[in-house]
Structure 1
Amino acid sequence: MLVLRTARLDDLPGIEPLATRSPAGVTTLPANRDSLYRRVQASIDSLAAEVAFHGEESYLFVLEDTDTKALVGISGIVASAGFKEPFYSYRNETFIHASPGLGIHNKIHALSLCHDLTGNTLLTSFYINEPLRFTQWSDLLSRARLLFIAQWPERFADGVVSEMLGVTREDGGSEFWDAVGRRFFGIEYQQAEFYCGVRGRKFIAELMPHHPLYVPLLNDDAQEVMGQVGPYSALAYDILMREGFETENYIDIFDGGPTLYAPVRGIRTMMESQLAKAQAGEGSRTPCLVATTRLDDFRACVADVAFEAGQAYMPADVLNALALQPGDTVRFAPL
């Protein structure tokens, strides 16, 4: 059985291969043990903290095969994007250039560096092994985070964002980065993403131009990939769009991929989730995401559940996998 749970320090040997296989653009999963250690420790500290308002907390989850104890996926949440430093994006804007005397009125597409999305909750670090992509397990890995937010709303913002990886070339480079970032940083796309994951985003403010970039001045290849979802993010994009996320007016400053946004009150899994008392039993069942309501031992899995009078009946092995006793409260949502 595959079970999502919060990450522990002894998971590091299993997390490292996942981080190594994840694309360069997943900056929250750098192939660097010290950085991964800090991420896991930050999650442990956040779970132990008393929180009345979202701040610098971050949470990391792993998807474990309980039969083999192997880790097959990872995902995370940052309670408040840009808490310690601005969360940069490019905002799509339209400037008007007009000359009444010449009878010319032009609308010009421009990109403005901004940190409008700072303060929103950020979904991060999504990676699942290839054989499990586009399955119920990838839904579990992504959407269980939404059940976590629904259970402890005081720990998170009223809006949730997620950055999608943009289109890259077969050699790992990015047309958008080459046309914009590389001109000011003088480094390759993958190196820039690695620096971002290991050193943070402060260097962006130091080197990136703060004046608007006029899109017509970019080459055709760079313009073509703006706002486009790369193959790696197709899975995350599909899941979140089904949840009610939308592509707002923002793109990533590195590869030009879109940033998705949804208000908490509009996210499907959170709105459809309910609480019930877990029981072992049979009945006419519905496939569901089922999560515990224990902050110190949050777990979630996919299970067939039967509902009756506030009771959620599920197979005994599901209760065991989630470390539940009959009568414990669970949060569930339709798969």
Structure 2
Amino acid sequence: MLVVRPAGPSDLGSLMELAVLSGRGFTSLPEDETTLLDRLTLSEASFTGAIAPREAWYTLMLEDMETGRIEGLCGVRAAVGVSRPHFSFRVMTLAQFSSAIGTRFDHQALVLVNECAGWTEVGSLYLRPERRSGGAGSLLARSRYMLIGVDRPRFSETVMAELRGYFSPDGTCPFWEGVASKFFRLPFDEADHMVMSTDGQFILDLAPRHPIYVELIPDAAHQAIGKVHVEGEAARAMLENEGFRGSGLVDIFDGGPTYSVPRDSITTIQRTVALPCAAGDPGDAPELLVSTASVDGFRAVRAKVRFEDGRAMIGAAAIEALRVAPGEMVRVRQ
């Protein structure tokens, strides 16, 4: 059985392995042990409540209980832009009109903004390629919303997700090459690494302060604005199924789109109910997403659930995976 559980420092080896597999442009999963260990330590403190709620960053691991192997991960950051700005480009239309010649021009432009400050971010969704079927991706992605739903006040009223931007088959990033590199003048991989491993001051120092007219940038970079990495299409579809929509914001490095949704409008949160659990044979009941009802020790699985007398009856394997006792509250996505 697959179980989603909190990550901690002991997961460093597995997280490093997934970071290598994830490839270029996966900013939240850098191939740097020090950075990843800091994140895992922060995750442990977040789940135990050892830090302020707005500073929390929860990392969840997808573990195969039979083999003990970590098959994927995802994360929930309680609030972005708290300790430093969270910059994006907003794609805007700038209108210009000349009364002298009676002509109006509408220009698309990229404008540097810091609109997401305080928003909750769901991200870092990555699965081993061989696990991208059979419901594992859905379990992992939706576990983030189950976590948010357990204690909504810990999280912002707006939830966002940044999707990895488009890379050409030759491994280059058209948006970086045509736009961002002109300001940062670093190799993409170095700049990408610095986002997570430094305080981000270089972004504050070097990011463009004036609108960038889209008509003036190379066509390849233009076409990449808001375009999703080939490996991110499934993630986008899952976001849209949960109610996320494009916000008009794109990443300042790779041009990938930012999606957002009101927290309480997320489909999984709306369709989840809390019930006491009961151990038993659910028979041919449908397989649903089930989680614990607390942030501390949060766990989630897919299991058959039969609703009976106001209880959620689940099998022994699910009871063991969730580490709950009969009668304890669980949350079930209907």
Q: Is the 8 A contact 1:134 1:235 kept in 2?
A: no
- Residue 44 of structure 1: aligned partner: 44
- Residue 288 of structure 2: aligned partner: 288
CA distance in 2, matches of 1:324, 1:45: 22
1:284 positional shift? 4.7
CA distance in 1, matches of 2:189, 2:61: 25
- Residue 243 of structure 1: aligned partner: 242
1:175 positional shift? 0.7
- Ranges in structure 2 where 5+ consecutive residues have no aligned partner: none
SS in 1 for 2:90: strand
SS in 2 for 1:112: strand
CA distance in 2, matches of 1:235, 1:204: 30
For 1:177, the aligned partner's letter is: W
User: Once structures 1 and 2 are overlaid, which stretch shifts more, 231-240 or 264-273?
Assistant: 231-240
1:187 positional shift? 1.6
For 1:307, the aligned partner's letter is: F
SS in 1 for 2:54: coil
Please give the per-residue CA displacement for 1:268-325, whole angstroms capped at 9, x wherever unaligned: 0001010011112224512211001233211101111111232011111111111121
- Residue 140 of structure 2: aligned partner: 141
Q: Is the 8 A contact 1:172 1:190 kept in 2?
A: no
- Residue 106 of structure 1: aligned partner: 105
SS in 2 for 1:297: coil
1:29 positional shift? 1.1
CA distance in 2, matches of 1:250, 1:323: 40
- Of all paired residues, the percent bearing the same amino acid is 34
CA distance in 1, matches of 2:46, 2:16: 21
For 1:331, the aligned partner's letter is: R
- Residue 92 of structure 1: aligned partner: 91
CA distance in 1, matches of 2:189, 2:236: 22
- Residue 300 of structure 1: aligned partner: 300
User: Once structures 1 and 2 are overlaid, which stretch shifts more, 252-261 or 280-289?
Assistant: 280-289
Q: Is the 8 A contact 1:173 1:188 kept in 2?
A: no
SS in 1 for 2:149: helix
Please give the per-residue CA displacement for 1:119-171, whole angstroms capped at 9, x wherever unaligned: 10011211100012243111111110101000011211001001001111233
- Residue 4 of structure 1: aligned partner: 4
1:185 positional shift? 1.4
CA distance in 1, matches of 2:132, 2:263: 25
- Residue 14 of structure 1: aligned partner: 14
CA distance in 2, matches of 1:70, 1:156: 30
SS in 1 for 2:307: strand
- Ranges in structure 1 where 5+ consecutive residues have no aligned partner: none
SS in 2 for 1:55: helix
1:258 positional shift? 0.6
Q: Is the 8 A contact 2:5 2:298 kept in 1?
A: yes
